[in-house]
Amino acid sequence: MPLRSDWSEDLCPVRRGLDVLGDPWIMLIMREVLHGRCRFDAIRDSIGISDAVLSRRLRLLVDEELLRKVEYRADRRTHFEYVATEAGADLLPIMHAVSIWAEKHTPMPEGGAHMALIHETCGAETTSADLCSGCGEVLQAGDVSWDKPWKSTRERLVGATS
């Protein structure tokens, strides 16, 4: 992102993190992948990003090892999909923190509703970003569902694949 300097070598971890995460698309793409929407079209249609930008971001994310590109067969054809690495799945607490902050501090739009973060292991809703506020366990992508009442869905996230 050359409109600003490179922060990947910065001593402060916040800045190093923002070097990758300080882009609004990155987090949205990772959210889709953690929701199991792993294919190019699925991601594009779901977040409303242009082909060119999505393509660039996916390459960046693979380079940075937040995603891995894998082949698989379906409909008797070879497809590609993107799966989260451990680094990618570990963005979960950041997404939770953003979500909790936004629910508290941005106005709820018409037709919106509270999105509950469910720790499926214990069944409780968590109000904390990285430790389940119900049972105290560390939250992992594979153990969490996001309950979106406005879509009537409760989707369990997909964790990292080795």
Q: State the chain's maximal CA–CA distance in angstroms.
A: 49
Amino acid letter, residue 105? H
Contact between 104 and a copy of itself per CB under 8 A: yes
Amino acid letter, residue 88? G
Contact between 53 and DNA per CB under 7 A: yes
Nearer to DNA, 30 or 49 (CB): 49
Of residues 67-126, which lie at the interface with DNA (CB under 7 A)? 69, 73, 75-82
Nearer to a copy of itself, 53 or 72 (CB): 53
Please spell the DSSP secondary structure of 63-115, one letter per residue.
Answer: HTTSEEEEEEEETTEEEEEEEE-HHHHTTHHHHHHHHHHHHHHSPPPTT--PP
Of residues 8-67, which lie at the interface with a copy of itself (CB under 8 A)? 8-25, 27-28, 31, 48
Q: Which residues bind DNA (CB under 7 A)?
A: 1-5, 23, 25, 39-41, 49-53, 55-56, 58-59, 69, 73, 75-82
